[in-house]
Amino acid sequence: MPWRRASDPYVVWLSEVLLQQTRVEQGLPYFERFLAAFPDVRALAAAPEDEVLKRWEGLGYYARARNLQKAARIIVLEHGGQFPERAEDWRRLPGIGRYTAGAIASIAFGEPVPAVDGNVKRVLARVFNIAQCIDDAKTLDRLWSLAETLVQGTRPGDFNQALMELGARICTPRSPRCEACPVQPHCASYAEGLQGKRPVRKPKKAVPHHEVVVAAIRRNGRYLIAKRPGNGLLPGLWEFPAGKCLPGEPHQIALERLAQEALAVEIEVGGMITTTNHAYSHFRTTLTAYRCRYVAGKPEPAEHTQLRWVRRGDFPRYPFHKANHKFMHLL
């Protein structure tokens, strides 16, 4: 992984933010493309937001990209392009939590501070045979205290990365490779045969499911697209207007209601384009996209910040969220 031997705080920061909620194999090509487009903090700070989101397109959790740029602008405009060196100063920047701050400060600047991610939680819970639920605040504080004690040494960045790798490659959630583990002689849960029961987690809640209709509204060879607000789900991305169906509501009625309430226009609903399933972090959806014809009204955004009529050939210029890419090529 190209960031493992990096000491450039910009590269370390980018890799840590990008790999939040993202598998390494998925994130690697994004990391390389993003770094090529924005090679340093000044380039990122100066870029248009749509361009930053376009480079992030398909990766999900888009608030990461927006916070990355917000923090870059603070570093450039308020600190002359100089990066913070201490974890507590990194935490003052947008999108930087305790883990990310600890990872950057220890890897890039050698500060002996812990970085406790999901992998590290699992390793510590097994090594110290912690029977309490690691989702509880008190137990989480204990894990951070343990990590803080362990990281005190001359190479804190290497130590933190080693713990992460141990959890990712050896001390895995299911079927941990205890026979290959370098800390197996010190593992209290292994000694008692409890490694398969650690860590203790809260039961997962049922994931809600929503029926969503999408309107590909066309007028004079152009499609109506909308920009999502800068907060909430998928902030700042463009999309084809969409909305949830009410219980038992037919798709045609839902689309006509959506057009009136969210866009202030009347439409004629045509044929179905496709139906596809899409999962978000806390819910799942079944999306059904329809071809629609603009009939009347002046489009006004009620739930979005901008509306635009664009040709199909212009789609690549806009950062759309992943669900839209599942049917855009069919238009």
Q: Report whether pLDDT(4) > 90.
A: no
DSSP 314: G
Whole-angstrom distance, CA of residue 260 vs CA of residue 266: 6
**What DSSP string runs through 121-178?**
HHHHHHHTT--SBTTSHHHHHHHHHHHHHHT-SS-HHHHHHHHHHIIIIIS-SSS--G
Contact indicator for 274, 330 with CB cutoff of 8 Å = yes
Q: Report whether pLDDT(233) > 90.
A: no
pLDDT at 60: 83
**SS3 state at 206:** coil
- Is residue 266 left, alpha or beta, with left meaning phi > 0 and alpha meaning psi from -120 to 50? beta
pLDDT tens, residue by residue, 187-231: 999 999 999 999 999 998 889 999 999 999 999 999 999 999 988
Q: How does residue 242 score in pLDDT terms, banded at 50, 70 and 90?
A: very high
- The domain over range 209-330 is classified in CATH as 3.30.70.1070: no
- Strands 266-279, 242-244: parallel, antiparallel or unpaired by DSSP? unpaired
Q: Report whether pLDDT(329) > 70.
A: yes
Q: Which residues are catalytic?
A: 16
Closest CA to 151 of 182, 105, 196, 184: 105
Q: Cβ–Cβ contacts within 10 Å for residue 330, how many?
A: 10
* Fold annotation for 112-204: Endonuclease Iii, domain 2 (1.10.1670)
- Estimate the share of the chain in helix, then strand, then coil, as percent rounded to the nearest 5: 45, 15, 40
Same fold yes or no, 1-110 and 112-204 = no
Chain-centre distance of CA 4, in angstroms? 21
* Fold annotation for 1-110: Endonuclease III; domain 1 (1.10.340)
Whole-angstrom distance, CA of residue 268 vs CA of residue 119: 51
Whole-angstrom distance, CA of residue 65 vs CA of residue 89: 20
pLDDT at 234: 86
Whole-angstrom distance, CA of residue 210 vs CA of residue 287: 9
Task: Name the amino acid, one letter, at 75.
Answer: I
Q: How does residue 282 score in pLDDT terms, banded at 50, 70 and 90?
A: confident
Q: Report whether pLDDT(6) > 70.
A: no
Q: Report whether pLDDT(3) > 80.
A: no
Query: Environment class of residue 301 by beta-carbon count within 10 Å: exposed (0-12), middle (13-18) or buried (19+)?
Result: middle
Domain boundaries of the chain, sorted by first residue: 1-110, 112-204, 209-330
pLDDT tens, residue by residue, 55-111: 999 888 888 999 999 999 999 999 999 999 999 999 999 999 999 999 999 999 999
Helix 63-79 / helix 9-18 crossing angle, nearest 10 deg: 160
Mean pLDDT score across all residues of the chain: 94
pLDDT tens, residue by residue, 139-165: 999 999 999 999 988 899 999 999 999
Task: Name the amino acid, one letter, at 86.
Answer: R
Residue with tokens 């992030």: 56
Whole-angstrom distance, CA of residue 194 vs CA of residue 188: 8
Whole-angstrom distance, CA of residue 222 vs CA of residue 220: 6
